[in-house]
Amino acid sequence: MNSFSIQSQNLSKFFGRRLIFKDINFTWKDNGIFGISGPNGSGKSTLVKIIAGLIAPTSGKIIHKNSDGEIIPEKLHNHIGFVSPYLVLYEEFSAWENLKIFAKIRGVPFNKEKVLYYLSQFLLDNRKDDLVKTYSSGMKQRLKFAFALMHSPDVLIFDEPTSNLDEEGKKVVYKIILEEGKNRIVIVASNEMKDLELCQEVLFLEKYK
């Protein structure tokens, strides 16, 4: 059982004078699939970036804890796997080389067996040595899941996880989300109904304007 928790305390974000959301409070812990929903421009990506420690809130805070206590911001990246359409890959390298580079950046061992397992799960094992620039947008999206999962994080954050995916790709992603939600916190930011149906709890950003 994962002992990780994420708590939001009166979280608010403005860009200049424009309100994105205000006074968001929640506690997500142990494991499960949690959704963040809202129309385009409602702040879904902004909220997940704050949760991941990529940008700061205007006020309030996000607290990450495990059995050893609160996680300091400098160590947060070790506990989080992040997938989004706007994450950039190294196009001039192969998928395999990309994964090795990211393992080195994270400072984690490159577990070949685990990486091959996830590449197989996302139907990319036979293309692992091809340059990423030859991948379709859907293949690049699936590769990002391997990046997110390879270091066995406590929290998985999926921003628009089925973006650019065909039906086969979506089925693979839904299977992974359901499996991973049994052992860790999975956050899904989306306005796709099928994505949100996987979630046991959904935070609707329209309520925080």
Q: What pLDDT sits at residue 87?
A: 87
Gyration radius from the chain CA atoms = 17
CATH architecture of 5-208: 3-Layer(aba) Sandwich (3.40)
Among residues 184, 190, 183, 100, which one has the least CA distance to residue 147? 100
**Chain segment 144-172, per-residue pLDDT in tens:** 999 999 999 999 999 999 998 999 999 99
> Where along the chain do its domains lie?
5-208
67-94: buried (b, 16+ CB within 10 Å) or exposed (e) per residue?
A: eeeebeeeebbebbbbbbeeeebeeeeb
Q: What pLDDT sits at residue 85?
A: 87
Would the pLDDT of 1 be above 60? no
The label of the residue with tokens 């996987």 reads: 198
Q: What is the DSSP letter of 131?
A: B
Half-sphere exposure of 47 (CA within 13 A, CB side): 37
Q: What pLDDT sits at residue 106?
A: 83
Round the average pLDDT of the chain to a whole number and report it: 94
**Chain segment 111-148, per-residue pLDDT in tens:** 999 999 999 999 999 999 999 999 999 999 999 999 99
Tokens of 184: 């860790």
